[in-house]
A = this chain, B = another copy of it.
Amino acid sequence: MNGKKGSCVEINIPSSDTTKSTKQQLESGKKKSAGNGGDLFSCKAWIEKVWEFAKEDSNRVIFSFKVGLAVLLVSLLILFRAPYEVFGTNIIWSILTVAIMFEYTVGATFNRGFNRALGSLLAGILAIGVAQMALSSGRGAEPFIIGTSIFFIGTVTSFMKLWPSLVPYEYGFRVILFTYCLIIVSGYRMGNPLRTAMDRLYSIAIGGFVAVLVNVLVFPIWAGEQLHKELVNNFNSVADSLEECVKKYLEDDGLDHPEFSNTVMDEFPDEPAYRKCKATLNSSAKLESLAISAKWEPPHGRFRHFFYPWSEYVKVGAVLRYCAYEVMALHGVLHSEIQAPYNLRITFQSEIQEVASQAAELVRCLGKDISNMERSLKTCLLKRVHSSTERLQRTIDMHSYLLTTTYCDPPPPPDNNSSKSVVLLPKLSSDLSNQLAELESKSLDKDSTPAVVVQGESYHEMMRKQSRRLHSWPSREVDAFAFEEEGGVDFLPRMRALESTAALSLATFTSLLIEFVVRLDHLVEAVDELSKMAKF
C-alpha cells in the first residue's frame, strides 16, 4: 500500500473496502450484533480491528512512527533556539517538506524528493530571473510583469502535467507553480527575492534531508523488496486460483449453482484464491508504481548491483497476468449457466486434475525461484506438464464423441453428403448413455452421492432440469416471448441444442486449460530472462 497510488490500485469494485478488510469487518459485524450491550465492548472490538490491521503488516506501524520521528526532528530545529536563530521563520518550510515528501517506501520518497527539489530549483531560478527583470523595468510595470508571468507559469505547468509522458511528474509541476508564486510574490512585498528564494531552498533542503535520512536509516521499507514480494505473491495467487477453480469444476455436481445474476458481481466468498487472482489482474498499476520507485533506490539487501532490472519485474507480471486471464476465463466457464453435466466432467477428471496440479506446481515453483533468487532449470517440470497436457488432449480426442450431439430423431439434412452422419448418430447416442452409466457407477465408488439411475431417459431428465435453469436468464420478457413464439412445440429440438452446447462447455474448459499451459512457456521464458538480467 503506497499512499495515493495505493488507492487507485485497490479500488476496483463498488465495495472494495469490504474486499480488503472483509475478515475484520465480518468479525466486527459479528461482534456488533453480539455485543449491543455496551460501548466498552464495541470499543474493544475496534481496538482489536486496529491491532489486526497493524499485525497484518508491521511495516504500517514502522512507517507511522517514522513519520512522527521525522516531523519531530524537523520541529526541533524551531523548538530549540540555536537553529531557529540561524534560519529564521523560513524553517517552517522544512516541516511542510517533510510532511509532503515522506512516502511509504524509500524509492517513492526519493522520487518525490527529486520532484520537489527539481521543481523548487527551477521555480527559484525562474522567479529570480523574472523578479530581476521586473525590478529593472520600473515600479509601475512590475505588478503587470509579475501578474503576467504567474498566469503564464500556471497555464504552462498545468498543460505540461497532462502530457502522457510527464504525468508521473505531476507533483513536480505543482511544486514549480506554487514555489514560483510564493517566491515572486513575497519577494515583491518583502523585497529581495534572491534572499527569499535562497532561504526557502535551504529550509526545503533541510526538510528533504531529514525525510530521506529517517526513511533510509530507520527500518527502511524498500520498494524493491515490496515489488519482489508482490510478484511472488502474484505467482502463488494464480497457482492457487487455478487449482481452486479446477477443483470446484470437478467437485461441483452442477445443481447447487447460485443464480448467475447474484454471482457475476460477487466476491465468491467460498473462493478466496479467485479474489486474490482478481487482485492480480488489477495489480499492474501497483507493480508499475513500485518499479518506478524501486529504480530510485540504491543497491540494498539482496539486490546488490546497480541498475537492477526492476522493469523486468513488471514484464514478468504482465506475462503472468496473461496467464491469469485464462484462469478468469476458466472461472467464467465454472460459473456459466450452460454447464457440462457432472458425469461428463468426471470422465476427464484425472487428466484435468493432473494438468492443473502440475501447471500450478510449475507456477508456484517459478514464484519460489524468484523468491529465493535462484535459477533452476524448469525443463523437467515443463516436460511433465506438457506430457500430461498431451495425455489430456489424447483423452479428449478419444472420447470426443461424448461431446457430440445426442439427437434421436434426424434433423433436416443439410446436404446430400452429411445425411449419412445423421443415420450414424443415434448409435453414438445409445453408446453415450452406456458410457455415462459406466461413468456414473465409477463416480459412485468415489463419493457417496445419492444414486441416480442413468439411462437415456434419466439423462434427458437431467438435461431438461439444466435447460430449465438456463431459461431462467434474468430477462424474463425475452423468455416469455421465446416460449410464446415457439409455442412449446419447438421446445425439444431447442433443448437438445442446449445439451450439445452444454457438452461443448467441457471442451471449452479443457481448451482454456491447454491454452494456460501454452502460456506457461512464455512465463518460464520471462522468468528466465529476469533471472539472467538480475544475475540470480
Contact = CB atoms under 8 A, between A and B. Distances in A.
A508 interface: yes
A137 interface: no
Contacts of A302: none
A461 interface: no
Contacts of A415: 438
Contacts of A474: 521-522, 525
- Categorize the interface residue count of chain A: 35 or more
A421 B399 CA distance: 9
A21 B164 contact: yes
A417 B347 CA distance: 14
Interface string A262-295: 0011000000000000000110110011000000
Nearest to A176: B99
A198 interface: no
Interface in A392-428: 393-394, 396-401, 403-405, 407, 411, 414-415, 417-418, 420-421, 424-425, 427-428
A374 interface: no
A126 interface: no
25 contacts: A8-B8, A8-B9, A9-B285, A11-B168, A11-B285, A12-B285, A60-B159, A64-B162, A68-B150, A71-B150, A71-B153, A72-B150, A95-B178, A99-B177, A99-B181, A100-B174, A325-B325, A333-B511, A333-B515, A397-B497, A399-B418, A418-B435, A420-B431, A478-B521, A508-B512
Contacts of A282: 282, 284-285
Interface in A189-233: 189-190
A454 to B, nearest CB: 13
Interface string A325-358: 1101100110011100000000000000000000
A400 B61 contact: no
A253 B522 CA distance: 25
Nearest to A75: B150
Given A167-B7, A428-B421, A522-B261, A404 B405 contact: no
A478 B99 contact: no
Given A4-B4, A336-B515, A507-B511, 14 more contacts: A8-B9, A11-B168, A14-B314, A69-B151, A71-B150, A71-B151, A72-B150, A79-B147, A260-B522, A325-B329, A399-B414, A400-B504, A473-B518, A508-B511
B11 A158 contact: no
A522 B264 contact: yes
Given A329-B332, A398-B414, A265 B315 contact: yes
A253 to B, nearest CB: 21
Contacts of A130: none
A13 interface: yes
B96 A182 contact: yes
Contact of A167 (B6, B168, B501): B6
A337 B338 CA distance: 26
Contact of A288 (B3, B11, B417): B11
A481 B383 contact: yes
Contacts of A383: 478, 481-482
A510 B504 CA distance: 9
Contacts of A84: 189
Nearest to A427: B424
